[in-house]
Structure 1
Amino acid sequence: MLLFCPTCGNVLHIEEGTISLRFACNTCPYICNINRRVSSRTYPKLKEVDDVLGGSAAWENVDSTEERCPKCSHPRAYFMQIQTRSADEPMTTFYKCCNSQCSHNWRE
């Protein structure tokens, strides 16, 4: 957790004072004693595959191929390839079932 100086806006660092720990600014004389335990924990919301690929509009103009859906065994699926890793790694192929009732997403 980062705390910022209310005077100049720089990041506060923790230093050991005469009695206890305190927040201090490197650029101005701001000091704030730490009287209680300071903690904060936030977990980011994980994105769905469609959000990462550009939403439902990303699947509008894609081709289909003969790839069996692992969920409903439909014989065709839409596909797109995206470079998700470094350039020396192969592209990742994403599939979406052509069956409108299933629409299962998976990747190779």
Structure 2
Amino acid sequence: MLLFCPACGNVLVAEEGARCHRFACTTCPYVRNVTRKVSSRKYPKLKEVDDVLGGAAAWENVDSTAEPCPKCEHPRAYFMQIQTRSADEPMTTFYKCCN
């Protein structure tokens, strides 16, 4: 939380004194003593995550390969390729077991 000087508009800086805490302006003599706890929290809104793979419908018309599944050794697996990075990068291949 930023506080601004009402006299000159500069940002107030926090100072810790022997007896009290205060906000002071570095340009003019304005001082504001802290009489209570000052706190502020701001939680940013999380943006919605896009389904990069296109959801369950993306797997409906994909090809299958004769390569065995690396997890369960099933003899076939579905695959699809999606451009996940910039155009000069190779496509990313995703596999899904036919089992």
Same fold flag (TM > 0.5): yes
Say how many residue pairs are matched. 72
Q: Displacement, 1:45?
A: 9.0
Whichever residue aligns with residue 74 of structure 2, its letter is H
Q: How does 1:66-105 map to 2 (within 5 A)?
A: 66-99=66-99
More deviation in 65-74 or 37-46?
37-46
Whichever residue aligns with residue 80 of structure 1, its letter is M
Structure 1: any 5+ residue segments left out of the alignment?
Answer: 1-12, 22-34, 100-108
Higher helix content, 1 or 2: 1
TM-score relative to the length of structure 2? 0.55
TM-score relative to the length of structure 1? 0.51
Q: Displacement, 1:74?
A: 1.0
Q: Displacement, 1:67?
A: 2.4
Q: For residue 105 of structure 1, what is the aligned residue in structure 2?
A: none
Q: Partner of 1:57: helix, strand, or coil?
A: helix
Counterparts of 2:53 and 2:44 in 1: how far apart (Å)? 25
- Cα deviation digits, residues 47-91 of structure 1 (max 9, x gap): 6xxx32111111001110122222211121111111011111100
Q: Displacement, 1:98?
A: 0.5
Q: For residue 25 of structure 1, what is the aligned residue in structure 2?
A: none
Counterparts of 1:36 and 1:52 in 2: how far apart (Å)? 43
Larger radius of gyration: 2
Whichever residue aligns with residue 91 of structure 2, its letter is M
Q: RMSD of the alignment, in Å? A: 3.4
Identical aligned pairs, as a percentage? 65
Q: For residue 27 of structure 1, what is the aligned residue in structure 2?
A: none
